[in-house]
């Protein structure tokens, strides 16, 4: 008898040979997995290191890690967790942050370079370079480019406006006059016009907050009322046309005036608060222009609902190690945001659905923004490879889990009443509690340092970086931190 020939296998295709064939397939599958794993380990930009191995820099790397970063920290979208990654990375590598005097860059006003600590205008003496610009601002490209080189890596994060509205309502209940007057988010969204006045205090928190944070102009109705606050006096020079000369390729990628025709920009969705028609915005010139403009500036926009997938793509784009994007969730509110990256619609009641639909319609510009960047993210996932991404996400989660177990009491975020150490107590704001972390005792000095970095909330971390860059003379920033309007 000769060896098994294909013809023989076909002829004897019975239960026994089926078992043999299955065995062969499984062996091949296993070999492929092994090979796949090897392959993954060799992929540039994504060095899979052992958890808890000392990790100063990927050992083998075919691309230099990017260390000039602009992160637009949008509100209520998971951005505090990204900030922690940036704080840690910059801290470990001795990078210089472009820091605000307090915790934000004059928000909600448009960003000004002069608000950066240690910034010198051109011709005002030698300027030490900045590496990372990442604290809250309303984006203003012209001024950002005074501080950061135009070939910096620009990125940001967006979130489904319905989830964002729930979070913002609870967080800014007393900051936004529209929210303050509303008994509930459902009541607000059922008739937003009864509560919302453009130009009223904190109104930007109550509608299209992402669009606002990206520094985009609003349709005429709102623009007219906001002019005094946000737009330059000269109506013929919006901030987008005033790109600095010598701003580099980033400024030349798109000439806004060639695309943006204010005369044809129609009021979008305003006055039609919750009709499904207001969701159909693809053809609005204002929105098309806004999205094209953002595409020309931002290298990557993360999506909160696919947070871990986004982090893997970020590590890949920056040529960072996977460990560099392993972190804990920060600034999560009790009873709401633990499931930031869950996209399941299970268990949604009819009221939930209605609220979601109304929130998306009311935040029409943000919805267009979100759908657009969700689409871009998935196109990138496609390019990266779905299977490759899934295994990297699984690895990321396993490492996060391992770190949480290693560093944290309870292995997870806790009610702030348990967080007695001031260094880790998150700033409490809004109507829900903001969760924090308690470190386990008995960690080795090296682990202690890493766990502290992982658990340090954004305000304390900013103070720490500030003290590092500008060694304090007298003041103790933590004691002077008072409630601010985030
Ligand atoms: C985001 O993209 C994914 C993948 O294409 C899709 O399943 C999901 O429905 C999208 N979400 C929205 C809100 O468009």
Nearest-CA residue for atom 4 of ligand 1? 378
Residue 374 pLDDT = 98
Nearest atom, ligand 1, residue 306 CA: 1
Give the model's pLDDT for residue 57: 46
pLDDT tens digits, 264-288: 333 333 333 333 334 455 568 999 9
Spatial CB neighbours of 226, under 8 Å, sequence gap ≥ 6: 198, 199, 218
Question: Can you give the pLDDT at residue 38?
Answer: 34
* Centre of ligand 1 from the C-alpha of residue 117, in Å: 40
- Ligand 1 site: residues with CB under 6 angstroms? 371, 374, 378
Residue 92 neighbours by CB under 8 Å, 6+ apart: 56, 453
Residue partners of 53: CB distance under 8 A and separation at least 6: none
pTM of the entire predicted model = 0.75
The CA 118 to ligand 1 mean position distance, Å, reads 42
Whether 485 shows a pLDDT value over 60: the answer reads no
Each residue of 134-154: b (16+ CB within 10 Å) or e? Answer: bbbbbbbbbbbbbbbebebbb
Place of tokens 């970020």: 314
State in Å, rounded, how far the first CA of the chain is from the last one: 80
pLDDT tens digits for 50-99? 333 334 444 455 899 999 999 999 999 999 999 999 999 999 999 999 99
Please name every residue paired with 157 in a beta bridge, in sequence order, or none if there are none: 302
Question: Can you give the pLDDT at residue 14?
Answer: 38
Return the residue whose CA atom lies nearest to atom 5 of ligand 1.
Answer: 378
- Mean pLDDT across the chain: 78
Q: Which atom of ligand 1 is nearest to the CA of 374?
A: 1
pLDDT of residue 435: 85
SS3 for 356?
helix
The whole-number pLDDT of residue 345 equals: 62
Q: Is the pLDDT of residue 241 over 70?
A: no
Protein residue closest via CA to atom 14 of ligand 1: 371
- Span 202-216, average pLDDT: 96
CB 214 within 8 A of CB 156: yes
Return the higher-pLDDT residue of 335 and 385. Answer: 385
Model pLDDT, residue 348:
81
- Residue ID of nearest Cα to ligand 1 atom 13: 371
Distance 343 CA to ligand 1 centre (A): 9
Give the number of the atom of ligand 1 that is nearest the alpha carbon of residue 303: 1
């Amino acid at each position: 008898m000769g060896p098994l020939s294909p013809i023989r296998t076909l002829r004897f295709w019975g239960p026994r040979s089926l078992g043999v064939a299955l065995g062969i397939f499984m062996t091949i599958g296993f070999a492929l997995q092994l090979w796949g794993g090897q392959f993954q380990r060799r992929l540039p930009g994504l060095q899979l290191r052992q958890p808890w191995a000392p990790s100063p820099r990927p050992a083998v790397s075919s691309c230099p890690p990017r260390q000039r970063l602009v992160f637009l920290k949008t509100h209520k979208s998971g951005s505090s967790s990204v900030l922690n990654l940036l704080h840690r990375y910059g801290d470990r590598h001795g990078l210089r942050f472009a820091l605000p005097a307090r915790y934000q860059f004059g928000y909600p006003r448009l960003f000004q370079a002069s608000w950066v600590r240690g910034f010198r205008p051109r011709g005002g003496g030698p300027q030490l370079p900045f590496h990372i610009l990442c604290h809250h601002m309303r984006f203003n490209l012209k001024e950002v480019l005074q501080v950061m080189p135009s070939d910096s890596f620009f990125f940001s994060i967006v979130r489904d406006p319905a989830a964002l509205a729930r979070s913002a309502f609870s967080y800014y209940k007393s900051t936004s006059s529209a929210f303050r007057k509303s008994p509930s988010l459902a009541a607000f969204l059922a008739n937003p016009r009864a509560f919302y006045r453009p130009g009223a205090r904190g109104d930007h928190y109550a509608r299209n907050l992402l669009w606002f944070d990206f520094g985009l102009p609003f349709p005429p109705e709102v623009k007219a009322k906001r002019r005094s606050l946000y737009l330059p006096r000269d109506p013929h020079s919006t901030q987008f046309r005033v790109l600095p000369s010598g701003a580099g390729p980033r400024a030349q990628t798109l000439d806004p005036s060639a695309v943006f025709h204010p005369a044809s920009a129609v009021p979008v969705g305003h006055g039609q608060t919750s009709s499904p028609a207001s969701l159909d915005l693809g053809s609005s010139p204002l929105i098309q222009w806004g999205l094209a403009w953002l595409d020309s500036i931002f290298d990557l926009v993360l999506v909160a609902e696919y947070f871990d997938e986004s982090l893997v793509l970020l590590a890949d784009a920056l040529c960072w190690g996977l460990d560099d994007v392993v972190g804990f969730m920060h600034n999560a509110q009790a009873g709401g945001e633990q499931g930031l990256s869950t996209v399941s619609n299970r268990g949604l009641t009819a009221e939930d659905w209605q609220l979601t639909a109304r929130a998306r319609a009311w935040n029409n510009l943000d919805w267009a923004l979100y759908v657009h960047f969700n689409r871009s993210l998935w196109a990138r996932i496609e390019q990266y490879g779905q299977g490759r991404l899934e295994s990297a996400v699984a690895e990321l989660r396993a490492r996060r889990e391992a770190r949480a177990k290693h560093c944290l009491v309870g292995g997870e975020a806790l009610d702030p009443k348990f967080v007695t150490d001031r260094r880790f107590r998150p700033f409490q704001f809004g109507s829900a509690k903001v969760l924090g972390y308690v470190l386990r005792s008995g960690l080795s000095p090296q682990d202690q340092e890493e766990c502290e970095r992982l658990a340090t909330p954004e305000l304390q971390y900013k103070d720490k970086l500030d003290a590092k860059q500008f060694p304090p003379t007298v003041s103790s920033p933590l004691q002077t931190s008072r409630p601010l309007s985030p």
